Amino acid sequence: MALFDFIKDAGKNLVDDVKQATLKEEDLTKELTLHGLEIDNLKLAVNDGKVIVSGKSRSQELKEKTILCLGNINGVAQIDDRISVDEALPQSGFYTVKSGDTLSGIAKEQYGDASKYPKIFEANKPMLKDPNKIYPGQVLRIPKV
């Protein structure tokens, strides 16, 4: 299991005033359900920007997407991953988007080939709906080639 850091002030707003409100486990669960990310025996605990997530995942990909979905929520600074995986595959890398980044630029940097950007886009669905809509501070999944 591992700790993953995210930019607390970046990401999707689940509450109107992040500074005044606290994220609730049920809000995070709804966000996972919205994206079709289902972890068996899911348990979430939120404490001051840190989310502890546990349960059982049927794949490494589902586990990584769950971590990214939760971490790319405004107000989340860290994910404490305690999810076990049925199918152990090599872990993907993560990349934090910087100002001016594009998926093709990230693909060029990570794979040496800008035309491989669809691989990154597909690896981040359903959270990404458009390859041109990424934002600084967003953390993306970079699968192995």
pLDDT digits (tens, 9 = 90+) for 66-96: 999 999 999 999 999 999 998 777 788 999 9
Same domain, 7 and 53: yes
Last residue of a domain, one of 58, 85, 112: 85
Same domain, 35 and 70: yes
pLDDT digits (tens, 9 = 90+) for 35-50: 999 999 999 999 989 9
Domain containing residue 130: 93-142
Predicted TM-score (pTM) of the model is 0.82
In whole angstroms, what is the distance from residue 133 CA to residue 23 CA? 24
CATH code of the domain in which 77 resides: 3.30.1340.30
Helical ranges in 1-145 per DSSP H = 25-34, 60-71, 103-111, 117-123
Same domain, 68 and 108: no
